[in-house]
């Protein structure tokens, strides 16, 4: 999203862009932590004594992160974009969801173009 917004941003929007970039960097760390939690959960059996606490922690962290993005990031971004740009971004997001792994791969690359290549390679085995 940051790359897309950089293409659209005007100089008065630089404060917003800086804020968005800082939040995206922080979100990357949160995404990594959630991937690691998911990876641990995938290795546990439901009867494992750590399963419930691992699941609860993962769900809580994920729920909090989604709420933050929905309440802060997305409304700010939507306010800065026209309807055509929002539509293109939405379509791009829908296509991206087709490539997202269904299992956690915490050691896989987290930045383009390697993230995309890793997702394409892992998709058939997920």
| pLDDT one-digit tens code per residue, 23-76 | 776 777 888 888 889 889 989 999 999 999 999 999 999 999 899 889 988 898
CA–CA separation, 32 vs 19, rounded Å? 20
| pLDDT one-digit tens code per residue, 84-121 | 998 998 998 888 877 766 666 565 666 666 565 666 56
Q: What is the pLDDT of residue 8?
A: 56
Q: What is the pLDDT of residue 67?
A: 93
CA–CA separation, 82 vs 95, rounded Å? 20
Domain ranges of the chain: 11-80, 82-126
- Is the pTM higher than 0.75? The answer reads no
From residue 108, alpha-carbon distances to 52, 84, 98 in Å are 26, 33, 17
CA–CA separation, 11 vs 124, rounded Å? 43
Q: What is the pLDDT of residue 29?
A: 80
CA–CA separation, 33 vs 85, rounded Å? 31
């Amino acid at each position: 999203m940051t790359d897309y917004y950089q293409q659209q941003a005007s100089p008065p929007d630089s404060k917003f862009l800086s804020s968005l970039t800082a939040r995206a960097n922080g979100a990357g760390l949160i995404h990594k932590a959630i991937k690691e939690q998911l990876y641990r959960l995938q290795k546990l059996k439901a009867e494992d004594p750590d399963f419930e606490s691992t699941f609860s922690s993962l769900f809580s962290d994920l729920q909090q992160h989604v709420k933050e993005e929905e309440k802060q990031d997305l409304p700010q971004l939507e306010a800065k974009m026209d309807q055509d740009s929002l539509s293109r971004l939405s379509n791009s997001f829908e296509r991206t969801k087709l490539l997202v792994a269904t299992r956690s791969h915490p050691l896989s690359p987290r930045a383009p173009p390697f993230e995309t290549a890793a997702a394409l390679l892992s998709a058939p085995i997920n």
